[in-house]
Homo-oligomer: A and B are copies of this chain.
Amino acid sequence: MATIFKKIQMFENITKLTSRQFLQFSVRNYRHRRALMYVPGSDERKINKIASLNADCVALDCEDGVALNKKDEARDIIRKKLEHIIPTANGDIGVRVNSIESGLCEKDLEVCLSGTHLPHTVLLPKVENSDHLKWFSDRINKFIKTDQKVNLIIYIESAKAFINLSDICKTAFTLSECNKFTPTSLVFGSDDFCASIGATRTEDSTEILYARQKLVLCAKAFHLQAIDMVYIKYKDLEGLKRQCEEGMRMGYTGKQVIHPNQIETVQESFLPALATVEWAKGLLDAFEEHQATGKGAFNYRGSMIDMPTMKQAKNIIDIVKPVKKKST
């Protein structure tokens, strides 16, 4: 907690930066979801605790977290609960439906989008090709009776999906222009992916590095947030922290969470370290001064700095800015 407190204090100072011209870039259009927490749609007791979780994003789950014989019950509970949760929600509230291929998705959408309050976001698992998105686009238009749009989070979790990744992203954007959804994030569904290619996960995940980095790159090329894999050993918070930092270094800005005690670690990890924030702030200061003198490349703390490094520093400040907003 002390660390978080120090970070929050730091953000107080950072707000001074906002007046600068080079921080006036338009904010990316995605919500910042550091933790994406699953809560089984069939479990009312757990759903009632959502407000106390303080997670950036909660997904009411119809899919893997709900047994086959509880699917109907889960849909009804979700519809009922959304009426109470949405009007008072702090973070993003989504519904993870079943995959299109499962044959359960249409009913999930029909029921969960039929209440007075739509979820902010629909999470669509096992998207494998652009036809899946066309199917989704049709249904979402049919079941949303108003002019509202929902956010769409796309799960990439099979070999096939990775082959079609660029095409999936392109289609999502094209379709979103005149349909009732806005694509905001890609999720790396690492466990289904491993099953799909027959890989076995180790602690450092080297065996799936190609897929994990391809996902970030493709997400960023289409201005989507990249949300990293689940860390299933939910009692090992040190291991969780290590994997958060690893993902963050690759460009992930959020992570799936399967147990409430993972939330704080994840949300704290996906803030840049104080030292990093301080480095970025110092660099941006130095750059501004230096730029005025008319020399391009310059030396900051022993490294030669130019425009790209400056942009990295700005990225760091971008991450801490919305958190600052929340804390006021």
Query: Hey, which bits of chain A sit against chain B, CB under 8 A?
Result: 38, 40, 42, 61, 63-70, 157-160, 162-163, 166, 189, 191-202, 206-211, 213-214, 216-221, 230, 232-235, 246, 248-251, 253, 258-259, 276, 291, 293-297, 302-309, 311-312, 314-315, 319
CA distance A66 to B209 in the complex (A): 37
- What are 26 residue pairs bridging A and B, where the CB atoms are less than 8 Å apart in the complex? A40-B297, A42-B296, A63-B307, A65-B297, A65-B306, A67-B293, A67-B294, A159-B217, A159-B219, A163-B166, A163-B217, A189-B308, A193-B308, A194-B312, A195-B312, A197-B217, A199-B250, A199-B251, A200-B248, A206-B209, A207-B250, A207-B251, A209-B210, A210-B214, A232-B303, A258-B304
B234-A304 in contact (CB<8A) = yes
Closest B-chain residue to A40, C-beta based? Answer: B296
Closest B-chain residue to A160, C-beta based? Answer: B221
Residues of B within 8 A of A258 (CB): 297, 304
How distant is A174 from chain B, measured CB to nearest CB, in Å? 15
How distant is A168 from chain B, measured CB to nearest CB, in Å? 12
Closest B-chain residue to A235, C-beta based? Answer: B302
A311 is contacted by which of B195, B209, B297 (Cβ under 8 Å)? B195
B253-A198 in contact (CB<8A) = yes
Closest B-chain residue to A246, C-beta based? Answer: B207
Residues of B within 8 A of A305 (CB): 232
Residues of B within 8 A of A315 (CB): 195, 198
Contact A294:B64 (CB < 8 A) given known A191-B312, A197-B216, A211-B213: no
A308 is contacted by which of B157, B210, B217, B314 (Cβ under 8 Å)? B157
CA distance A256 to B202 in the complex (A): 24
CA distance A213 to B308 in the complex (A): 20
Residues of B within 8 A of A234 (CB): 303-304
B159-A197 in contact (CB<8A) = no
CA distance A295 to B294 in the complex (A): 65
CA distance A158 to B217 in the complex (A): 9
Closest B-chain residue to A70, C-beta based? Answer: B294
A65-B200 in contact (CB<8A) = no
How distant is A123 from chain B, measured CB to nearest CB, in Å? 14
CA distance A63 to B307 in the complex (A): 9
Residues of B within 8 A of A216 (CB): 197, 199
A291 is contacted by which of B67, B194, B293 (Cβ under 8 Å)? B67
A308-B192 in contact (CB<8A) = yes
